[in-house]
Every structure is written in C-alpha cells, then in structure tokens.
C-alpha cells in the first residue's frame, strides 16, 4: 500500500497531551510516550506504541548527522529526515540534542482510538510516567509523529535553556565576539605606539566595526 505524503500524515497527527516537564538544560530528560494509531483491519482496534525518548545533555554545536541525532526512531526516520531538518532547521542549528528511543514496544487493544486515549491518560495519571505524552497519529507515520513531539518539546524548552546557559556564561556568542574584538583593539593600540602600520590597521578596524567615534580621542592621541 502506498504511504500517504508527509502533509497528510501531519494533518492526522495530534499531540493530545504534552509532557508537563520541559527538557533539561543540564543532564538528560526522559519523556514517556504513547502513540495511538487506528488500525484499518480489523476494525475497532487501536495500535499503541510505547517507549521513552531520552534527551541527552544539549551542546552548543553545529548540527551534523541526522542518524546520530535520532536513534531507534524506526525504519522510516531517514525518509522523514529532509522534512524534519528543514522544518526545524533554526532550532537544530542553535541547540544540539541527541535523542534516543528506548524501551520501545507495540501492542493492539480492542478499542477505538478515543477510548484508547482515555485509557492511556488514566494510565499515565496513575503511574510514575505522569509527565508523559499522548499522541494520535497514522500507523504509517509514527516515526514522524515521534520526531515532531520530540522537537516541539525542544522548541518549547529552548527559551529556558538560553537563560540557563547565559546565567552560567556558557552561551553568549554576541558577547564573546564583542569581547574578542575589544581584546584585538587593545592589542592594536599597544602595537600602534611605535608602529605606523599598526596605527593604520587600528583605524581600519575601528571604522569597520563603527567604533571610531568611541575611540577617536585615544586614536588621535597616537599621533
């Protein structure tokens, strides 16, 4: 049977219950999930996929291998990789996570999806997995649904992560660039005391970064 296109799979995917706990900035986070899919034959049954996505400690790096980022997300993960990479490119570029799907299992229950959802919610509320997620999705698109859930949780947690990283001085690219520029300028000032070429380089650097007026008196004092 021909697989529906990605847009169709996405329209039929709904996150019915998001995890109550956001991803951790420092350390691993575990998200228990239930993916519920209607089954065409026999009718009146629902396939339930259970497992836990482990979000590894994030690192501020350039995104690299998709396969390394999503481990054990099903055989169809590579098929959905181009869409996922494009749809979440800004997030993936800014903050790296490694996601691993653990404890994966599949079962079939004699219930329509609505009833299966009610059971899953009660099961989560009564267990240690009360921070888990419930997603309704097509059977053919469960890998895509799991990646969507995982990345939307990463996006939801992203602002908090930035604040945490900035508080610890671990993520401030603009500040680091400014500090590096100031150090370079101070080095040029020191060299320019007796080197006309360094003075020329210093003047060009100040104008290039719009800092000439700020340093003008000090610069002219070299002459």
pTM above 0.85, yes or no: no
SS percent in the chain: helix, strand, coil, step 5:
50, 20, 30
Mean pLDDT for all residues in the chain: 79
- 61 vs 110, residue with greater confidence: 110
Measure CA 50 to chain center: 22
pLDDT in tens, 142-174: 999 999 988 887 777 665 655 554 554 544 555
106 with 208, same domain: the answer is: no
| Domain membership flag for residue 211 | yes
| Domain membership flag for residue 196 | yes
Per-residue b or e along 171-188, where b marks 16 or more CB atoms closer than 10 Å to that residue's CB: beeeeeeeeeeeeebeeb
How far is 159 from 138, CA to CA, in rounded Å?
A: 31
Please enumerate in sequence order all residues whose Cβ is within 8 A of that of 159, keeping only pairs 6 or more positions apart, or say none. none
Strand-pairing partners, residue 31, are 53
115 with 183, same domain: the answer is: no
- Asked if the peptide bond before residue 104 counts as cis, ω within 30 degrees of 0, the response is no
136 with 178, same domain: the answer is: no
Residue 192 sits at the vertex; the CA angle it makes with 188 and 195, to the nearest 5 degrees, is 125
How far is 32 from 28, CA to CA, in rounded Å?
A: 13
127 with 184, same domain: the answer is: no
31 with 114, same domain: the answer is: yes
15 with 60, same domain: the answer is: yes
Range of the domain at 85: 6-167
Q: Quick one: pLDDT band at residue 47, thresholds 50, 70, 90?
A: very high
pLDDT in tens, 199-219: 888 889 899 888 888 888 888
Q: How many domains is the chain partitioned into structurally?
A: 2
57 with 158, same domain: the answer is: yes
Identify whether the C-beta of residue 29 lies closer than 8 Å to the C-beta of residue 55. Answer: yes
Identify whether the C-beta of residue 117 lies closer than 8 Å to the C-beta of residue 36. Answer: yes
43 with 99, same domain: the answer is: yes
198 with 92, same domain: the answer is: no
Q: What is the largest CA-CA distance in the chain?
A: 89
- 92 vs 116, residue with greater confidence: 116
Identify whether the C-beta of residue 137 lies closer than 8 Å to the C-beta of residue 37. Answer: yes
């Amino acid at each position: 049977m021909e697989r529906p296109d990605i847009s169709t799979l996405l329209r039929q995917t709904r996150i019915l219950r998001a995890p109550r706990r956001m991803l951790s900035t420092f350390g691993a986070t575990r998200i228990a999930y239930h993916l519920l899919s209607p089954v065409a034959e026999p009718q009146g049954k629902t396939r339930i996929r259970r497992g836990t996505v482990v979000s590894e400690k994030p690192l501020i790096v350039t995104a690299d291998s998709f396969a390394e980022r999503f481990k054990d997300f099903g055989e169809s993960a590579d098929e959905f990789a181009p869409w996922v990479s494009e749809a979440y490119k800004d997030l993936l570029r800014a903050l790296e996570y490694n996601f691993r799907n653990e404890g994966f299992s599949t079962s079939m229950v004699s219930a329509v999806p609505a009833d299966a959802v009610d059971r899953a919610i009660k099961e989560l509320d009564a267990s240690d997995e009360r921070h888990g997620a419930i997603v309704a999705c097509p059977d053919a698109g469960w890998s895509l649904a799991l990646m969507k859930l995982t990345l939307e949780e990463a996006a939801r947690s992203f602002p908090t992560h930035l604040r945490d990283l900035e508080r610890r001085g671990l993520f401030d690219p603009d500040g680091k660039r400014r500090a590096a520029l100031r150090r370079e300028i101070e080095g040029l000032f020191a060299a320019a005391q007796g080197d006309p070429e360094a003075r020329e380089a210093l003047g060009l650097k100040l104008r290039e970064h719009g800092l000439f007026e700020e340093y003008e008196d000090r610069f002219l004092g070299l002459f």
